[in-house]
Structures are given as C-alpha cells and as structure tokens.
Chains A and B, each alone.
Chain A
C-alpha cells in the first residue's frame, strides 16, 4: 500500500520520504535513549534529594519529641521544681480548689515553662486531679479536662501506671484553635516517692517551625504531620498552602492513601493526589509516640520539571531536524526533477506520435547522456515505425487464419473433455460400490475368523470334558472308599493300639510307612506274581492265614523283606493287625489316587487356560513356542491317547516376541488337520529348532497327504476338502495371516498316502508394528 502510494508521488516527495526514512529512525532511537537515560538519572537524583529531605525532616521531628522527653525529664529532677510541685499538690489537696494561687509559685512555674520552651504546664496530684496550670483562668477550660477529656485522663492514667514519659494523641480542646498534644511524666521525689504527674502542652509553634522548614523542598514541597482526630484526618499545623487544620484527603479514593498507610504504622514512598488535588511524590512514616503520620512531599509537576524541560528541548531538536531534512529533500529534488520534467514532456509528445520531437539540455552528465539517447531513440523510432506498418498488415492476415484453426481445435477438445468427465464419474461411483463391498467382506471375514475359532473350540470341549470327568470319577470313588474305611475303623483304633506291644506297634507303623509309598505303576499281572510268591513263602514257614496275609500285603504294595514282619505273622492279634493295616493303607491309597487325578485335571485346566489366553494389551509379549505347542497337545490328548503317537524333538529356544494366542491357533489348526488327515491313527512328529535367527517348527503326519492338484489352493480362504459343515475353509488362511503378521513363513511338502509336513519359520528378534487381525 505504502509503496504503491510512494511510487505514485512526484520525485520531490519520493526524495523527502527517502531522506526521512534514512534520518528519522536513527533520530528517534537517539532521542529516546538520551531521554530515557536522562529521566533515569533525574528521577534517581530527585528521589535521593527528597529522601534526604525526608530523612532530615523525620529526624528533626523525632529529635524534637525526644528533646521534649529529655527536657521534661530534666525538669522533674530539679529539686526546686520537685519542691514547688510537692507544695502545690499538698496545698491544693488540703485547700479548696477555688483558693487563688500563690502568685510567687505561679511565677516560678511560668519561668520553668519558658526556659524549657514548653506551652502550658500542669501539675496533677497522685489522686489524678489537675491542681495547677500556668494557663488557669486564661484560655483552657480545665473543668472540661478534669472531668471529660478522655485523652488527657488516659494520659494521666497511663503515665502514673507506666511511671514513664507518655504522649497524648493530638486533640482539639476548648481555647485552642489548632490541634494540640500533651506530654506527661511522673514527678517523683529523690527517694522515688511518687508525687504526681507533670503535664506539658507541646508547643504547636515549635512543631510548626520545624515542619514549615521547606529547605530542599522547592516551590511546592512541604512536610505535614497528620493525626486522626474524631475520625477525621487533620493536619496538626498550618500547611504551606492552607491555614491550620485543613483536612488532608485524596481526590482518588480508589488508591490507598499514604496517610492511612502511615497511620497504620507503615512507612513508604510513592505518588498520590494530595488535599489540593495535585499529584505529588511523597515519603511517609509513622510517629508512634503521637500516633501520627509524617508526610514529606513535593508536587510532581515541580519535581519532574527538569524532565519536562528535557522533553521540550528534545521535541524542538526533532522538529528542527525535520525542517532541515524537508528543505534538503526539496532542493535535491529540483536539481533532478527539472531535466527529468523536460525529458518527461518530450517523451509524452513522442508517445503521442510526434516523432519529430528532440530535446536540448546543457547537462553533460548522466542526464546529458539520457538526452542524447532519447534523441537517438526518437530517430530510430521514426525509422522502425515505417517497417512496422508493413509487417502489421501481413501479421493481421496470419492471425486471422490461425484464430480460425484454433477455434476448430478448441471445439473438438471440448467434446472429448465432456466424455472424459462422464467416464470419470462412472468410475468413481463404481469405486464407491467396490469400497462398500470390500468393507462388508472385511467384516464378514472377521466374523468368520471368530466363528472358526469357536467351532474348533466346540469340537475340543467334548473331549476335554471327558478328560476332566475321568479324574473326577476316580476322585469321587476314592473319597467314598476313604469315608467307608475310616468309618469302619476309626473308633476301634485307640483300643486296638493299646493292645499292641512295643515291637508290634513299631512294625505296624513300618507297614503303614511303606504302604504310603506304594508304586502305583505296578500292573495287575505283576501283583498276582508277587502274591503267589509271598503266599508260598509264608506257607513254608507255617504261618496260618497265609493267603489272606499275602493278598493284603501285596495290595498294600509290600513285596520285599517279608521276614522283617515275622513278629506280626505269629502275633495273637495277627488277623486284626493285617486287617487294620490293610484298611488304613486303603485310605492312604485312595488319597494318592485323588492326588494323581486332581494333578491330571489341573494339568488340563492349565492347558485350557493357556490356550484361551489372550494378550489384552494387544501388543506382542515374550512367549515360549514349545510351551504353546505343549498346551495344544494337552488339549488334544483325549483325541490322541488311543491310536496316535507323538514324537517331540524340541531344542531349547528362548521365548520370542509374539501374539501367543494367535500362534496357539496356528498349532491347533495344523495338529487338527493332521489328525483328520490320518483319521486319528498314526504318528505325528513335531520338531522345534533354532536355525540362525529363526525358529523352525515342523509338523510331520502320517496322513493321506495332499493331492498335487489342490496343493496350490490350500492357503486360500474358503478352500476346504471337508464335508459341508465340518470346516469353514478359513483355517489355513488364518494360519497364513497369523504367520505373515509375525513376519514368518509357512510352507509344506506332501506326498499322497505317505503324509504331509508343515514347516513354519518365525524370526527370533523382530519388532513388528502390525496390529492383531483378530482383536
């Protein structure tokens, strides 16, 4: 915008802008920096100056009050003054209040008052009555002080209890047209005896003379002592601008008043608007003895006058510089713009067609050269114009021809374009349909995948139920054995043991010990063999009841070292001993059976849990391949235990990062297919090996093999060789997808009627970022 504006201006204005652009920023920066520096220095100087004045004033006033304390303390130690006070107090205590004062005593007090520069001196008796005043009968109404004035009464009370010099607040009393304060101090005899109180009025004129010292405060500065009297803030002396007791107030009530601040005991400095409505810079503090505020202030306009002057000077400099720049810009402009204007005029005429135009100028510099060039150009133009006119005619003809051709071509292209647009639309709608179909197919596929998993699980559940039911049956019958045996024997045991002698007891316990460790794997045939041998052995030694004993011992699992129990064979309680031993060991055997059966059941449940296990994080976890395969084998145990032999060749392979539940589905599918291919009879060899950075897993079955012609089809979805309803045809498709997701490989080799081997390779170290397809 601005450039556009400048470009459209005459050269003189442009030059002015250029000059300003060069000069003005530098000037502004310079002026600002010097102003900023000067203001800082001035402000600091001013602040220091005012602070010094404030400290001096503050010190003077503090000193004044300290001096008052000192004066009055010296006064009450002068023996003659003590004597005068004692006599006055005694006199007034005895005599009536109306009795006129001894003029000599009164004169003495007035002399003390004058030499100690106090205003109005009063003596208070120890019973707190004002018994004398140098001002009696003159101005002050003392009946009021004695009876009503709280501040004086409090002062007397405070000084006589504190026994130290105390000040009153500033107050208005009758007879004074200005606020006044009092100082009180106890009068004590040399022995310390308490006579009464001396009260002196603080000399307002003295305070005024200190406060009205405007040294260092210029034309507008002043110090004021402010006190809160009857809820109003009052100046205790005349101020520089108003007579006594003007209220000090701020026009801007929203800002905190330094007066309030100071009266709350705080000191500080800053700007505020004073009672004249002027903005002032002030320091303030608190005078604790009088509960008053001291404010030292100066008008901002005066304080900052030097800064204001500086501002004017700088503004003047800026304006003067600007004037010079403008002048320079215009005279420079004249130097250039005169010849340029002539050139411009000539050029305009030339452009209007006056090709005879020529310029005459005195300059021999760049402008002179420009003039020569212009004249030459005008010459050339004249020449060229004629040639151009000729060309023009030929060109016009050619243009007409070309235009016609172009129009034709354009029409054709428009037609073709319309067709293309039409086809493109058709394609787009077809594409949308295809996308929809694809989405539908994808959702159908994931349903199918899930149902495939459920179908396989359904087939397994029946077998697993049987697997669990068998140990449950064993447990149930063992428990019932235990109950019956225990029931029949338990109440006889104490009495039975009491009848056994020591040897019998020990041997009996040995029998129980061995019986509890019975090897359950001994077959029935072997047992029969042992029983016969034992029976013969016992009969040879002439033991009665040999057959019964032999049967029981063998059932208890005792086959060796029979001679150890000789003492029992011949015992009078032989029959009972072996009966009881047999029954008790029966209980132990039942317990062992329960143990084995529950181990078996929990193994199955554990496998099932492992199988169904799913990573809820949806991320890969470290998992053992061989453990996964074992889990699947455990679940299939029921289908394989009769006619299928499993050979496992597992090398140690460390757990790999994988989706373990998905891999379980792979093993299930492959083993299930193998079992179906070999109709649940034959051999399955499973090997797990570590080959370089891969795990190679192979499943070799002795099934009927895959015919050559369908070998290319088996990993395709919905391909199945099984009857309708038995397989979805998705099994190996899913297997392939899972292996792909693990960045592994699956392949197989198969020969009809010999069998099929599936090979799976899984990388051991790999970080894959795919998400599970089934979650």
Chain B
C-alpha cells in the first residue's frame, strides 16, 4: 500500500507547490512536512500527535486505510485539529475534525452494486481483506442486494497482505456467482486475480467489480488478467475534460511520463485546494477558524466540481463506474453526470444499528480496526 500512499503524497505536494508558485497562502509559503506511517497503526497515532503538538502544523492530509483513519480520529478530536482524508471509505462516520474527500458509500459502493444488479446479474460473491472497510462495505452491499431481490452466494475474507486465496477461488467456483464484488485491498489482489484466471474463470464468465483498485494499483497487477473487469470511483485518468488533461499533464511532467493519476491522487490534490480556500476565507491559519469556514467551499477539480457539504463535511462528487482496458486505463461505462450529495450513513439500517455494528467489529478484533491475524483465521 506504501506505493499507493506515495502517489497521494506526490499529489498533495504538487497542489502545495502550485499554490506556493502562485504566491502562497495569505502571503506565506506552505511548508509541507512529510511523515511515514510505516503501515503501522501505532506509528500513525504517534506521528499525528507529534505533528499537532510539536510541529504545530496547520492541517494534516493523509491516512490510507480506514483502520489508520479510525486510529487517529480520537487524536484529532481531542486536539480539536483538522485532517483531510482522501480515500473512498465505508462511511458510518462524520467527525467535525475530518474532511472526507474520498467517496462516501452512496458515492461508490451503493451505485456500483445497484448498477451491477441492473446490468450484470443477481448472484453476488463478496470478497475482502479482513478490516473495517471491506466488512462494512460488504454489509452495505448485502443489505442492498437482498432488498433488491438479489442473492449473496458467498462472503469471504483474508488477512491484509495475505497471499493464500486458493480456498476462496474454490468457493467461488462452487457458488457460481454472476458477479464478484472485490473489497480486497493491497497486494493480495495480485494472487486473487492470478488464481481466479488460473481456475479458468474469465471476466466474461464472472465479471469482478473492484473497490480498491485504481489506475495506480493496476500497475502492480497483471493488466491482461484485469481487462474487462469493472471498478467504481469518482475520478478516472481517462476523464475527457480540459481541466483533467491539464492535471494529468502537470502530474506526468512532475512525476514522470510513466506515472498515472487516479481517484485517491485527485482527492489528495483536491484536499489541499479546499483547505486553502477555507484558509483564505478565514484569513488565518488558526485551525478552529479554518474549520468554521470549511462548509460550502468548492473547487473545480479534475473530475468536476466538488463542494463541501455543510451537514457532514464530506464532498459532493460525481460518481463513475468504469471497465479496465488493456492500456491500464479505464473506460467509463456509467456516470452520475453531476455531483451528488454525500451520505455517510446508508439508509438500509438506522444510525444506531450501524454504530453497534462497528463496535462489534472493534471488539471482535480486540480493540483494533483490523484483524491483526492473532485471531486464528478471518472470521465470518
């Protein structure tokens, strides 16, 4: 995951450099301090606390997995500080100290599932890494599928970073679903698709919709095994707009022609601009005053207009579903055309029910937001 996170850091630094080149913010240059969470939740927590209390930063952009975000959330709330979180996630959260610039579940998980029901079939097999995002995503998907008359024929988990997926492929072969909804995050995907194709399942037979594979991740996978499969995001590098072409060109100029842009990269880039607008409005870098000016801030992003919703501090974004092509790019097959309101709590359950669901997961993992593997195996 470190590679994906590096790209988001790059996008964040690029936005900072652009703002600095245009004369900075309130007459000052933004100085980025980059720290490495080292894929270790304790390091995330320590570094967040250090950045706030010792480095006295004005804002923090970061975190990749929901586990890392959930670990630092109480720190930001205790210090009354500000985090921009750039990754699509499972929702069920709304903190006054976090701006969620990735997709809420109604901007990715729900429309992609509904689209699959309308276009791909009724029998679903759900796979995921064993931590909070895939677990919640699966619950949202299952609720929806059942409501809409579909069927979940399998729901399987592997530890983050696991290499052994053969048993899941075997179950898929037996269950014969119409669609696979893939919530696996990280390197396990390499093995998953290799085994899936080895077992003779092509995308024509059972298409997969992946929720954590964007253009950047695709580069570390075998593209030929992915062509024809689907993915759902708010942004794709292939978006045909002048704004996006300029963004992609700038990114490639800065980070090499081999580099690609994708949704988390765009969200990281957006985050800096939205923050800078709130700072300009507030006329100060003071965190509390900046937070008060976040509502209704907007930015014409590479993927279209984005807008911070005043009720939940998530952003209005355009929803897109795409299909992987052989050149590593994505062809857009469905788009909401205009930005849609973010809703962090899906309607299939009440807020209290969702909160209880989260507590159950947290307790099951002994006070963690991911299955560390100390429990015997991924539990169902």
Interface positions of A (Cβ within 8 A of B):
154, 158, 160-164, 166, 169, 188, 191-194, 264-267, 285-286, 288-289, 291
Contact = CB atoms under 8 A, between A and B. Distances in A.
Contact of A161 (B149, B309, B334): B334
A16 B294 CA distance: 63
A265 B307 contact: yes
Interface of B: 106, 110-111, 114-115, 118, 143-144, 146-149, 296, 298-300, 305-307, 309, 316, 319, 334, 336-341, 343, 347-348
Contact of B337 (A154, A160, A265, A286): A154
Contacts of B343: 164
B305 A265 contact: yes
A161 B336 contact: yes
A164 B336 CA distance: 12
Contact of B340 (A166, A192, A194): A166
A158 B106 contact: no
A192 B305 contact: no
Contact of B298 (A161, A169, A264): A264
A48 B347 CA distance: 40
B262 to A, nearest CB: 22
6 contacts: A161-B118, A162-B111, A191-B147, A192-B147, A265-B299, A266-B298
B146 A161 contact: no
Given A162-B319, A288-B307, A169 B348 contact: no
A291 B338 contact: yes
Contacts, number: 71
Nearest to B106: A164
A6 B305 CA distance: 70
A265 B300 contact: yes
B138 to A, nearest CB: 17
Contact of A162 (B106, B147, B148, B299): B106
- Among A158, A188, A265, the most chain B Cβ lie within 10 Å of the Cβ of A265
A289 B298 contact: no
Contacts of B298: 264-266, 286
Nearest to B143: A192
B339 A163 contact: no
B110 A288 contact: no
A286 B296 contact: yes
B149 A158 contact: no
A163 B343 CA distance: 11
A193 B148 contact: yes
Contacts of A193: 147-149
B137 to A, nearest CB: 16
A622 B149 CA distance: 100
Contacts of B309: 288
B106 to A, nearest CB: 6
Nearest to B298: A265
Given A164-B341, A169-B338, A193-B149, 11 more contacts: A158-B336, A158-B340, A162-B111, A163-B144, A188-B147, A264-B298, A265-B298, A265-B299, A288-B316, A288-B339, A289-B341
Contacts of A154: 337-338
- Among B110, B118, B143, B307, the most chain A Cβ lie within 10 Å of the Cβ of B118
Contacts of B114: 160-163
- Among B110, B334, B338, B341, the most chain A Cβ lie within 10 Å of the Cβ of B338
A455 B316 CA distance: 94
Contact of A163 (B110, B299, B316): B110
Contacts of A265: 298-300, 305-307
B110 to A, nearest CB: 6
A544 to B, nearest CB: 91
A265 B273 CA distance: 13
